[in-house]
Amino acid sequence: MLKVGRHSKIISNLGAHVSIAGGFDLAIDRALSVGCGVMQIFVKSNRQWFAPPLKKEMCRPFLEHPRRKELQCIFAHSGYLINPAAPEGDVRKKSIRALIEELQRADQLQLPFLVLHPGAHLGAGVEEGIRRVVKALDEAVEKTSHAKTCIALETTAGQGTSIGHELEHLASILEKVKQSKRFCVCVDTAHLFAAGYEIHKEKGYQKTVSRLDQLIGLKQVAAFHLNDSKTALGSRVDRHEHIGKGKIGLSTFRWLLNDKRFFTIPKVLETPKSEDMHEDRENLRRLYQLLK
């Protein structure tokens, strides 16, 4: 973690999504090697439905890592196959089971929340999709009542029939779930932009934050994904780009990083990277330079 005078606390809340290849403990080493103060991980392969149960000896190196406390927050992202909005059938059953198992794994790793895409309604319409999402989430939360890990619903780009590209969608889900205390929100900059929110303009940024506060509440925001966008405003296509290299530009990230309302909220990159993660180091350095 880089420290720059009075900004050290703010910088400690910047980081990236990090690979768990070779073991969860190695993710901590990778994150710290590029200057992360927070990190996001998967709790299993993101391209597989299920994984063998986690045993205590598999968690111990991660939980007892001597440098773990140097990361201010470690949280998880769910696998991409999970679709809580799916209709009755095999995919829905697998989605709910996978979500339950990932919540259990995240809880074993003592992670505060698991970021989850609300899913795609596959032609049934947003209203029906939200109903399905709520039902799936209620089941998953009920079957993990022992767990402390919450679910952070993520804003989406609106690609295909996905739900969550309008803040109203997330607000509706949060209003209807039975145990609202187990839920929070993760805001993705690239997704907001692709969904049509004019966060590249200062008035648009402020309007979007005000809308977020009005519909959901800023206290519900648990994390940000800091991603530029390869695609245009309102494209509803989810393609991440390096900070300042996409259609959003640097100004949005400057406003967000210097917004006192979000100083303590963890913010992670999900930008393209190679195995040595030098791109993360460069993107983080670019973000540091935007701090006033």
Hey, which residues are catalytic here?
47, 77, 80, 117, 154, 188, 191, 225, 238, 240, 270
Q: Report whether 147 contacts 162 (CB < 8 A).
A: no
Long-range contacts of 204-208 (CB under 8 A, 24+ apart): 205/252, 205/255, 205/256
CA distance linking residue 175 with residue 180, whole number of Å: 7
Alpha helices in the chain (DSSP H): 8-11, 24-33, 56-63, 90-108, 126-142, 167-176, 189-195, 202-215, 250-257, 278-289
Residue whose structure tokens are 């598999």: 58
- List Cβ neighbours of 62 (8 Å cut-off, separation of 6 or more): 23, 24, 25, 27, 28, 68, 109
- List Cβ neighbours of 175 (8 Å cut-off, separation of 6 or more): none
